[in-house]
Amino acid sequence: MRKKKYLSILICTIFLFFLSACGKRTDVAAGDKFIYCLNESQTGLVKVAFEWPEGEVDEQVSAVLEELAKPAEDIEYVQVLPEKVKVKRSSVKNVIANVDMNAAYQELPTVQEKLIRAAIVRSLLQIPGIQGVLLTVNGKTLQEKDGTITGILNGDDFVENTGSSVSSYQKETLILYFANKTGDRLIEQKVNVRYSSNIPIEKIIVEKLMQGPKGNSCYPTLNPAVTLLSVTSKDGVCYVNFDSEFLNSSYDVKPEVAVYSLVNSLLEGTPASKVQIAVNGVTDVRYKDLVDLSQPFQQNLELVEEQEGK
């Protein structure tokens, strides 16, 4: 009887062991914490369950990055970072995670790099308090193959593409609005851009505005030190979220001119009909204590200065 009892216990123990072993990390249920890894064929991303430790945000960032470099535990996914690709350092400033990679990262094939980039960014965005990721290589901001600086990345930078569009480029002629010499009117300027199809046009427009105009016919409106936290469009509204530097413009430009420089440019280049501006996710603020940002803005062409020959 005693032998039968021990045999039954042993069978139950073995059964429970194999039952627990059947649970795969790719079986992510609603509410589970997870990271993104490469799928088995390395053609896309897959969610992988991961409980990162409690603690400061920078500690959680480090934990996620360490996990992305670990060998896969299931055959359904592949580790994100190849053996030669290393994270040199990481830090968190405000709501932005800064991740510095070694030189081997820059040598990755284009398609593989884009998937790895997406996995890193989308994994870190799962951490509460992280709204963007700045990837650098040996301290220098990551660039596309054509030299375009990627800048701060968020979930809106990774759209669903088919076929070879993951590495394709598009050309556009943007109509941007900058300030006139006295800073009380807007001047239209056409800018030709070539950009990756993985980057939303909304982000290109805002970044070009932040870079300022070409030539001396018009003047910048947005503080170049501002950090663009996110920009996306939904239901006809373009949502733009800056850090607090947005409120500290050093240019001698009327507040409404600066705001409508952004609004008019976005509405010219996207299907959106309104623009909602936020600062650190908050809309109940006033730009330069004068312009109320709590409600979405519509296009205002009355501020545009008539140009000769038009």
Euclidean distance between CA atoms 174 and 165, whole angstroms: 21
- Is 275 in contact with 296 (CB distance < 8 Å)? yes
Count CB atoms within 10 A of the CB of residue 262. Answer: 24
Position 187 scores a pLDDT of: 96
Whether the per-residue pLDDT at 302 is higher than 80: the answer is yes
Question: What integer is the mean pLDDT of 146-155?
Answer: 78
- What digits encode the pLDDT tens for the residues 233-249? 888 999 999 988 899 87
Helical residues (DSSP H) of the chain, grouped into ranges: 2-21, 57-68, 110-124, 201-211, 255-269
Nearest residue to 195 via CA among 141, 239, 157, 246? 157
Q: What is the number of helices (H) and of strands (E) in the chain?
A: 5, 15
pLDDT tier, 225 (very low <50, low <70, confident <90, very high otherwise):
confident
Whether the per-residue pLDDT at 263 is higher than 50: the answer is yes
> Angle CA(70)–CA(142)–CA(110) in degrees, nearest 5?
70
- What digits encode the pLDDT tens for the residues 12-67? 444 444 434 445 888 888 888 899 999 888 888 899 999 888 889 999 999 999 99
Tell me, what DSSP letter sits at residue 219? B
Whether the per-residue pLDDT at 304 is higher than 90: the answer is yes
- What digits encode the pLDDT tens for the residues 289-298? 999 999 999 9
- What digits encode the pLDDT tens for the residues 170-223? 788 999 999 999 999 999 999 998 876 667 889 899 989 998 998 888 999 998
Q: Cα dist. 306→46, 67, 180 in Å?
A: 52, 57, 11
More confident residue, 307 or 95: 95
Position 159 scores a pLDDT of: 54
Position 169 scores a pLDDT of: 67
Euclidean distance between CA atoms 253 and 275, whole angstroms: 20
Q: Cα dist. 251→79, 108, 154, 254 in Å?
A: 47, 41, 28, 9
Q: What percent of the chain has pLDDT over 70?
A: 86
Whether the per-residue pLDDT at 280 is higher than 80: the answer is yes
Euclidean distance between CA atoms 201 and 198, whole angstroms: 9
- Cα-flanking dihedrals φ and ψ of residue 136, to 5°? -130, 160
